[in-house]
Amino acid sequence: MNDLKAQIIEQLNLQEVTPENIGNDQPLFSKEGLGLDSIDALELIVLLQQHYNIRITNPDDGPKIFHSVRSMAEYISANQTIQA
Amino acid sequence: MNIYINGTGCVSPQLTAQGGPLLGTLKEYEQVRLAVVDPDYKQWIDLKQIRRMSRIVKMGVAAANLSLESAGLSTPDAIITGTAYGCLDDTGVFLTKMVNQQEEMLTPTAFIQSTHNTVAGQIALLLQCHGYNNTFVHRGFSFENALVDAILILGEGSAENILVGGMDEITNHSHQILSRFGIYKKAPVKTMDLLNSPEPGTIAGEGAAFLTLSNTKGPGCTTMLTGVSTLYKPLWEGEVIGHIVKFLESNNCTPEDIDLLVTGRNGDIDQDEMYEEVAAALFPDHPEACFKHLCGEYPTATAFGTWMANALIAEQTVPEAAMFYGNPPEKINKILLYNHHQGTHHSFILLSHVE
């Protein structure tokens, strides 16, 4: 999950944030969490495509997939297994 | 109608963002490309927003904030900018990804930030300014046409305080391309020796400068924007000289009324010939100051020149580093700023002192 955190930091250019600052279950899009916005959501979709070759086919799944780093990691693991 | 410059702000290769007397600490360089001295942008921009901003957006936001702060305002009624190249850095990022990734998986940030009006838009978003917002992309007239637009709006009475600025940035790509045109010197030159350089070519520059204009005089105001005029592709120097005489006449003055001539000399022996001709014909005994050895050459460098001319009037003195010819005048009531960009875009800005 640390690799994924580093990729998120790089993709979103999160200045002064390190992988250690992001909790596994910390909400990505709420003010209590990282406070990301809709542009960041698009960047995360591109991250999944670029790094893991995963395309999100149902936009309604977005809030669940991008809730936290853990939910993203679980989605990546599940979908990479299916692809393999 | 009087138009007052109630506030100014500037981010440039000089230490202009930190306040204090004009050129109090002179930055001297020996290179062909000058970059701005970045202030701490976090004092104006939240960390979450700053991460998406390229250098030109940060420069513009900083200069706009400095201008509003010095005018004692929190929000203007209108925002007008001029830029020739726009947000080049993000345009480069977006186009490079488009090529490298074969038009797939393009990220939105660089695209959103790559338009010419991004700076004006970001300033408006940060200030929550819902008023008139416009950007002029007219090469060497971009800043001048932004000024003309502001004058027209103030004349209409549809806005009371207008933030007007000019900005451009250099990127590695743009510098490489412009260097191929032979615009820049082939070897580094000391900036304080630039204006006496015997060779063609100049040095590249960048920066952002903003003015807060109003037809009501603010508490710290010392300068009026008396007039702006442009002349495109004059056939010979006589046309420029005639244009200046008419411009001054239309503003009820003559060359004798000008206390200080500020020119856009850039150290290119071919380009500077026009300034020699004009000075010899109309201002033979006038003191002359220059600014492009301080900020470099770029299409909206007159924004820096106007910022500097305003400071000269406010301080009623000319720092040695800015003087080119003669002695600083005892009193600076009127300044004529004459600039041309690559011999095609000639502009004239008249500033007057107000008590």
Q: Domain with A28 in it: what CATH number?
A: 1.10.1200.10
CB interface of A with B, residues 12-41, below 8 Å: 12-16, 35, 39
CA distance B108 to chain A (A): 7
- Substitution target in B45, B48, B112 with the highest count of A β-carbons within 10 Å is B48
Question: Do the Cβ atoms of B288 and B280 come closer than 8 Å?
Answer: no
Two domains, one topology: B4-214 and B223-353:
yes
The mean-pLDDT minimum among B92-96, B192-196, B243-247, B286-290 falls in B92-96
What pLDDT sits at residue A81?
Answer: 57
Any B CB within 8 A of A63 CB? no
| pLDDT tens-digit readout, B41-95 | 999 998 888 998 999 999 999 999 999 999 999 999 999 999 999 999 999 999 9
Question: Do the Cβ atoms of B132 and B159 come closer than 8 Å?
Answer: yes
What pLDDT sits at residue A84?
Answer: 43
What would the mean pLDDT of B273-280 be, rounded to a whole number?
97
Return the bridge partners of B168, or none: B207
With a pLDDT cut of 70, the percent of chain B lying above it is 100
Contact A39 B50 (CB under 8 A): no
With a pLDDT cut of 90, the percent of chain B lying above it is 93
CA distance A41 to chain B (A): 10
What pLDDT sits at residue A73?
Answer: 96
User: What CA–CA distance (Å, rounded) separates B257 from B350?
Assistant: 11
**Domain parsing of chain B, residue ranges:** 4-214, 223-353
CATH number of B223-353: 3.40.47.10
- A69: pLDDT strictly greater than 90: yes
Token pair belonging to B12: 């440039």
Cβ-based neighbours of B9, under 8 Å, separated by 6 or more:
B17, B62, B63, B64, B65, B66, B67, B68, B69, B70, B209, B210, B307
What would the mean pLDDT of A51-74 be, rounded to a whole number?
93
CA distance B126 to chain A (A): 16
Cβ-based neighbours of B219, under 8 Å, separated by 6 or more:
B72
- The residue of chain B nearest to residue A49, with distances taken between CA atoms, is B105
User: What CA–CA distance (Å, rounded) separates B96 from B81?
Assistant: 27
Dihedral pair phi/psi, residue A83, rounded to 5°: -65, -40
What pLDDT sits at residue A15?
Answer: 84
Confidence of residue A82 (pLDDT cuts 50, 70, 90): low
The maximal CA–CA distance of chain A, rounded, in angstroms, is 37
- B197: pLDDT strictly greater than 70: yes
What pLDDT sits at residue B101?
Answer: 87
What would the mean pLDDT of B34-47 be, rounded to a whole number?
95
Nearest to A13 among B51, B105, B106 (CB): B51
What would the mean pLDDT of B334-350 be, rounded to a whole number?
98
Any A CB within 8 A of B109 CB? yes
What's the number of domains chain A is made of? 1
Contact B105 A46 (CB under 8 A): yes
What would the mean pLDDT of B107-127 be, rounded to a whole number?
93
**Which of the listed CATH numbers 3.40.50.300, 3.50.50.60, 3.40.47.10, 3.90.1150.10 matches domain B4-214?**
3.40.47.10
ipTM summary value: 0.77
Question: Do the Cβ atoms of A71 and A23 come closer than 8 Å?
Answer: no
| pLDDT tens-digit readout, B221-260 | 999 999 999 999 999 999 999 999 999 999 999 999 999 9
Question: Mean pLDDT for chain B?
Answer: 96
Full domain range(s) for residue A49: 2-83
- B202: pLDDT strictly greater than 70: yes
Nearest to B109 among A39, A49, A50 (CB): A39
* Dihedral angle sign, alpha carbons of residues B143, B149, B155, B161: negative
